[in-house]
């Protein structure tokens, strides 16, 4: 190699090292400037996050509230069972995120990838560090379709017979599957994990059963509900109403049976008996409605400072304040409080958390207390619904002065026609605090044995 070539090479190396260093310097300085500060940081703009951001941003000075949310679209998920049954369309459940995040809050369209409650900081996907006085975790939970071997593959087959109302990606396949099945086994599952809206896996089954009857194919289809739970429904008062429905409508319920694999090529679903793990069942399906295992989002679950042993935020179940980090609160599905994970629960939590955050910011005692209220409109067909409402003790906590453990058209109408408007126009803007006020007002009509 000639001296001149060596010289040119060295010169290039030098140049590239220089430019590398320059790039590094630039990116570090950019990172340093990527800092944000706020009074309240809301992570997640789902039902709970939007309601909290709306309440707090209208009370605190402009710019005090930051909302961290990467998604473009916000879905009203309680509509997904109705979409699965062909009663609503996916577009009706969806709004642009920019329309639901309150205008007084600053939206950072990124994901939280690291929580550091010791330094009051959340790091975003681009490396931005956001420091806060108060953090509200409202990330929701994560759908782990990938934890069941073969399931994602089955769900990706065009016009296939495996469906799932839990994701906007797969919900439309459900109504297609109801239409396409002609005969054989329709299998519905419930996973061995915490589940959002734990009634939904059986609601879609009742709707399917009604659909098959209406389309004159019910007698050619066997319906099975394989649930990992030891009960049909967690609240005995409503479970006692659901068992006879399954019996009358010839739906076979297998408890403690967990979906562990799907073999789409053979139309086989593999289940395990959770009480006798050595017992494995292969069941042939003509249609499979699969509910994925769920967990806290990985980014949250890895922050052991924040979460309890289940991976959800370790809050006091009444104040919704973190047990150690007093400036951290959780709302909705990401909370470790032992309530049922439903939008109605987030609605009932929202005034409590709001009151407690204002008290916390003013150095006062926290007086707000959440009673575990959750509501689950158990749609049992195209015109019937049992409106389950209950508290932490799994005692009924019903709003209306009539026994709600019966299938009623009025409750179906409320779920299908009234709830969406209540959600968009009352809950997300922070005005809906759950039905406690209504329940108290209506309780004057409670006569006889009904106790709330």
Count residues binding ligand UQ1 (CB under 6 A): 15
Establish whether 197 is a catalytic residue: yes
Residue 155 phi/psi, 5-degree rounding, is: -75, -10
Instruction: For 226, list phi and psi in degrees, rounded to 5.
Output: -105, 105
CB closer to ligand UQ1, 203 vs 257: 203
Q: Is 148 in the site for ligand UQ1 (CB under 6 A)?
A: no
- Residue 389 CB, shortest distance to ligand UQ1, in Å, is 6
For residues 351 and 377, which CB has a smaller minimum distance to ligand UQ1 in the complex? 377
Nearer to ligand UQ1, 177 or 428 (CB): 428
Quote the least distance from Cβ 297 to ligand UQ1, whole Å. 22
Task: For the beta carbon of residue 304, count every other beta carbon within 10 angstroms.
Answer: 10
> What tokens does 404 get?
């709600």
Under rule CB under 6 A, residue 435 binds ligand UQ1: yes
CB of 338 to ligand UQ1, least distance (A): 19
Q: Are 208 and 223 in contact (CB under 8 A)?
A: yes
Q: Does the protein bind ligand UQ1 through residue 291 (CB under 6 A)? A: no
376 catalytic? Reply is: yes
Closest residue by Cα to residue 134 from 434, 362, 372, 367: 362
Q: Which of 197, 246, 303, 385 is labelled catalytic? A: 197
- Residues 50, 246, 303, 376: which is the catalytic one? 376
Please report how close the Cβ of residue 448 comes to ligand UQ1 at its closest, in angstroms: 20
For strands 129-137 and 121-124, give the pairing.
antiparallel
Burial tier of 323 (Cβ tally within 10 Å: 0-12, 13-18, 19+): middle
12 Cβ partners below 8 Å, 6+ apart?
none
Q: Please list every residue from 403 through 432 that binds ligand UQ1, using CB under 6 A.
A: 419, 422-423, 427, 432
Nearest residue to the partner ligand UQ1, using Cβ: 344
H runs (alpha helix) in 118-185:
151-156, 171-180
Q: Which of 46, 48, 78, 396 binds ligand UQ1 (CB under 6 A)?
A: 78
* Per-residue binding letters, 338-367, with ligand UQ1 (x by CB under 6 A): -----xx--x--------------------
- Residue from 85, 293, 297, 434 touching ligand UQ1 (CB under 6 A): that is 434
> What distance, in Å, lies between the first and last C-alpha atoms of the chain?
92
Counting beta carbons within 10 angstroms of the beta carbon of residue 355, is it exposed (0 to 12), middle (13 to 18) or buried (19 or more)?
middle
- List the 280-284 sheet strands across, edge first: 257-263, 268-273, 280-284
Residue numbers annotated as active site: 197, 376
Site of interaction with ligand UQ1 (CB under 6 A) = 78, 343-344, 347, 375, 377, 399, 419, 422-423, 427, 432, 434-435, 438
């Amino acid at each position: 190699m000639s001296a001149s070539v060596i010289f040119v090479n060295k010169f290039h190396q030098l140049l590239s090292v220089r430019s590398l260093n320059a790039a590094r310097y630039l990116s570090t300085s950019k990172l340093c400037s990527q800092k944000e500060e706020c009074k309240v940081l809301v992570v997640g703009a789902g039902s709970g996050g939007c309601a909290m951001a709306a309440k707090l941003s209208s009370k605190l000075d402009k710019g005090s509230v930051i909302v961290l949310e990467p998604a473009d679209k916000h879905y009203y998920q309680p509509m997904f069972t109705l979409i699965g049954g062909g009663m609503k369309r996916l577009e009706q459940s969806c709004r642009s995120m920019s329309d639901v995040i309150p205008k007084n809050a600053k939206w950072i369209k990124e994901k939280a990838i690291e929580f550091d409650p010791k330094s009051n900081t959340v790091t975003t996907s681009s490396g931005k560090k956001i420091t806060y006085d108060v953090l509200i975790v409202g990330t929701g939970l994560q759908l782990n379709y990938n934890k069941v071997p073969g399931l994602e593959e089955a769900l990706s087959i065009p016009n296939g017979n495996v469906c799932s109302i839990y994701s906007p990606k797969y919900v439309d396949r459900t109504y297609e599957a109801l239409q396409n099945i002609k005969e054989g086994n329709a299998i519905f599952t419930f996973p061995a994990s915490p589940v959002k809206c734990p009634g939904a896996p059986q609601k879609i089954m009742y709707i399917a059963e009604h659909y098959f009857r209406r389309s004159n194919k019910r007698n050619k289809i066997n319906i099975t509900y394989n649930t990992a739970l030891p009960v049909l429904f967690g609240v005995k008062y409503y479970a006692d109403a659901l068992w006879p429905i399954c019996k009358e409508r010839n739906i076979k319920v297998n408890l403690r049976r967990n979906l562990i694999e799907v073999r789409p090529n053979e139309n086989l679903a593999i289940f395990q008996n959770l009480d006798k793990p050595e017992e494995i069942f292969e069941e042939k399906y003509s249609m499979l409605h699969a509910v994925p295992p769920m967990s806290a989002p990985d980014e949250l679950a890895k922050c052991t400072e924040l979460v309890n042993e289940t991976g959800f935020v370790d809050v006091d179940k009444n104040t919704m304040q973190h047990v150690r980090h007093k400036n951290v609160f959780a709302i909705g599905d990401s909370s470790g409080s032992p309530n049922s994970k439903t939008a109605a629960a987030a609605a009932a939590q929202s005034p409590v958390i709001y009151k407690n955050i204002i008290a916390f910011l003013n150095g006062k005692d926290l007086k707000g207390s959440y009673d575990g209220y959750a509501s689950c409109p158990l749609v049992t067909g195209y015109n019937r619904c049992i409106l389950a409402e209950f508290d932490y003790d799994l005692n009924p906590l019903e709003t209306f002065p009539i026994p709600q453990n019966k299938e009623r058209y009025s409750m179906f109408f409320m779920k299908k026609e009234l709830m969406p408007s209540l959600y968009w126009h009352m809950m997300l803007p922070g005005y809906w605090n759950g039905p406690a006020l209504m329940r108290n007002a209506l309780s004057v009509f409670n006569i006889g044995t009904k106790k709330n």
